[in-house]
Amino acid sequence: MFRDICIGDIVQHFKYETLSEQERNTNKYLYKVIETAIHTETQEELIIYQALYGDFKTYARPKSMFFSYVDKGKYPEIKQKYRFECHNID
């Protein structure tokens, strides 16, 4: 796919860093990449991904946004470089 993230990979949103160890045990901010898709009207590439917590909703996000950099002006304490990165089991 892109940046070594493939369909089936588990990824973490950058806000995963802000969780306590107890919160991390709930899988909050962890997602499974399900598929890629093309928007029918704009032809924009989308990433389809499913939450691994709560009610396991499925989401779609433009590929450009999915792979964007974390806004360090807004989130200066975040170490993660990109909005979503592969999850490494602690």
On whether residue 86 sits in a domain, the answer given is no
Q: How confident is the model at residue 88 (pLDDT cuts 50, 70, 90)?
A: confident
Domain residue limits at 4: 1-63
Q: What is the pTM of this model?
A: 0.90
The total of structural domains in the chain comes to 1
At 42-67, the pLDDT tens digits run 999 999 999 999 999 999 999 999 99
Sorted by sequence, the CB contacts under 8 Å of residue 20 that are 6+ apart come out as: none
On whether residue 57 sits in a domain, the answer given is yes
Q: Which of 59, 49, 55, 54 is nearest to 86 (CA)?
A: 49
Q: What is the mean pLDDT of residues 20-37?
A: 96
On whether residue 82 sits in a domain, the answer given is no
Q: Give the per-residue pLDDT at 82.
A: 96
Is pLDDT of 89 > 60? yes
Compute how many other C-beta atoms are within 10 angstroms of the C-beta atom of residue 37.
13
Is pLDDT of 2 > 90? no
At residue 82, what is the residue type? Y
Q: Which of 47, 31, 7, 49 is nearest to 87 (CA)?
A: 31
